[in-house]
Structure 1
Amino acid sequence: MMGKADLIDAIAGTNRGLLASEQQKQAILVAIANLEDLNPTPCPVEASNLLNGDWRLLYTTSRGLLNLDRVPLCKLGQIYQCIRVNTTSVYNIAEIYGLPYLEGLVSVAAKFEPVSGRRVQVKFQRSIVGLQRLIEYSSPESFIQQIEAGQKFTAVDVPINSDTQQGWLDITYIDNDLRIGRGNEGSVFVLSKT
C-alpha cells in the first residue's frame, strides 16, 4: 500500500500535473485513493487547526488551473489556496511568469460553508487578474491582507455573482502538512501546507 512519501514521489517531476503522462496520472490517482483510505482525520472540515493556513498546490487534474500555463509567453508559477477558517474565506492565487516585469497574478476570493464533515460549499465572490508589480504583490499573505482591508487593485478586479458561480469540495485527506481534495468538476487537488 502506498503512503504519503510514495504519493509525493509519484507526483515529483510532473509540474503539478502539467507534465504527467497518462500512466503517471493513473498511478497518482491510485496513490491518492490509497492515501484517502488512511485519512487520519475523520471529519476534516471540523479540524480547523489543520485546515486553516496557506496551502501550495503539488498536483491537480484541474484543466482550469493547468490551462493557465498554456497562455502564450507565460508559465505557471506557484499556486496557493489560502484558507481562513475564522472568516470562512478561501483565496486561490496563481502566480504567472513570462516576460520580465510582466509577471502576472490570477486570484479568486470565495466564502465556504461546511455542509458535512468533509464537504464545503464554495461561493466565489471576487476575481482579480493583473500584473504583480501594479498590484504590489509580494506574497499570498500580504495580498490577502490587502483584499481583506477592502483594497481595489490596478487590475481586472471584479465581483462574481456567487448565486451562479459556486461549487463544492470534498476534503478526503488532511494531516499537519498534506491535504487532498476532490471538486465538483471531478478534479483532484494535492496540496502541502506552507
Structure 2
Amino acid sequence: MCITAFDAVSGPRYTAFSELLPLLAIGTSPFLKVKEIRQAIDTSSLTITNSTTLSSPFATLSFSASATFEVRSPSRIQVTFKEGTFQPPQIKSSVDLPENVNVFGQQINISPVQQSLGPLQDAVASIGRVISGQPPLKVPIPGDRTSSWLLTTYLDEDIRISRGDGGLFVLVKEGSPLLAQ
C-alpha cells in the first residue's frame, strides 16, 4: 500500500472518530447541512489538510486543520497538526429556507416565515459586505492532541480505509463513481 495514491479525498463515508460525530449529527438538522468533508494529502510537501464546509440558509461556513506527516512505513504515517483555519462566512444573497421542516416526525410548513424575511435579508446582505474580503482566522493547535498516527489498512483506486488513534475512517476518492451512488 502507498499513501500517494490518495492525493485528494472526499469523505468520510463512514467514521468511528468520536470528535467528528457531533459535526455529522449537526448535518441532519434542517437548517445546517454538512456540505463537504474532505481530506487532501500532498505527498510532495508532506502535508495533510482536513476541511469541512457547512451550509445554512444564511451562509456557508468553512474550516480546516492542517498537518504535516512523516512516513513510518508503506502503510503508516505519523501526523502532527499545526493550525486550524476558519474562513470568513460566505453570506448568501438571499435566505434559502426549506418549505417544510420535519420536527419530531411532524412536517411544519415554514413558507410564511420565508415571506416575512425581507428586513432580515437586508441585514444579512449588509453583514456580508462587511466581512467579505476579510482574511481567514488562523489558530495554532496546542497541546497533546497535535500528534496522531494513521494506518492505511485498505487502498484501491476508489477507497481508502484507515485506522488511527482517533478511530476508523472510510474515505472515497474525489471523482470516483462510488460518490454517485
Class of the TM-score when normalised by the shorter of the 2 chains: 0.5 to 0.7
Matched, 1:59 2:14: yes
The answer for unaligned runs of 5 or more in structure 2 is: 92-133, 175-181
Inter-partner Cα distance in structure 1 for 2:8 and 2:48: 10
Inter-partner Cα distance in structure 2 for 1:118 and 1:79: 23
User: How much has 1:95 moved relative to structure 2?
Assistant: 0.8
Residue in structure 1 matched with residue 157 of structure 2 by the alignment: 176
Q: In structure 2, do the counterparts of structure 1 residues 69 and 154 end up closer, same or farther at CA, with 3 Å as the change threshold? A: farther
What does 1:102-117 correspond to in 2, within 5 Å?
A: 102-117=59-74
Inter-partner Cα distance in structure 2 for 1:161 and 1:113: 19
Inter-partner Cα distance in structure 2 for 1:128 and 1:162: 17
Q: How many residue pairs align between the two structures? A: 128
Normalised to the residue count of structure 1, the TM-score between the two structures is 0.59
CA contact (8 A) 1:121 1:169 kept: yes
* Structure 2 letter corresponding to 1:63: S
1:192 to 160, 172, 177: 172
Of Structure 1 and Structure 2, the greater strand share is in 2
Q: Report SS of the residue matched to 1:103.
A: strand
Inter-partner Cα distance in structure 1 for 2:62 and 2:21: 14
* Residues 75-99 of structure 1: CA deviation (Å, up to 9, x unaligned): 2221000010000010001111113
1:75 to 9, 33, 54: 33
Matched, 1:98 2:78: no
Normalised to the residue count of structure 2, the TM-score between the two structures is 0.63
Inter-partner Cα distance in structure 2 for 1:188 and 1:164: 17
RMSD, matched Cα = 2.2
| More relative contact order, 1 or 2 (CA 8 Å, 6+ apart) | 2
